[in-house]
Amino acid sequence: MKTFNWTESTDSADIVQAAETEEVVVMRNGHAIALVVPFDDDDLEWYAREREPAFLASIAHARQQVQQGQTRSHDELKRELGLP
């Protein structure tokens, strides 16, 4: 992990270039203000999917089912399907 101290003269291109290969913490006045991480096209696809309203709704629904006991254990499912 690399650290950059942000000033008016800091070149953001240097931060972005460093973040292509490692995490970069951006500091200002001794305090962390940003974390820049390596990110590629695969990461972008997952990032977008994880924020889709339909996906978030399905996660919320699944959590509700767990809270209401509307789930089956792995062993229960295997028994229902007749698997060893």
Q: What is the pLDDT along the chain (84 residues), one digit of tens a residue?
A: 999 999 999 999 999 999 999 999 999 999 999 999 999 999 999 999 999 999 999 999 999 999 999 999 999 999 999 999
Per-residue pLDDT at 33: 97
Query: Which residues, listed in sequence order, are joined to residue 24 by a DSSP beta bridge?
Result: 2, 36
Q: If we measure between CA atoms, which residue out of 36, 32, 43 comes closest to residue 18?
A: 36
SS3 68: coil
Enumerate residues 6+ apart whose C-beta is below 8 A from 55.
49
Q: Is the pTM of this model over 0.85?
A: no
Per-residue pLDDT at 24: 97
CA-CA distance, 24 to 15, in Å (whole number)? 7
Query: Which residues, listed in sequence order, are joined to residue 28 by a DSSP beta bridge?
Result: 31
Cβ distance 16 to 2 under 8 Å?
no
Enumerate residues 6+ apart whose C-beta is below 8 A from 80.
72
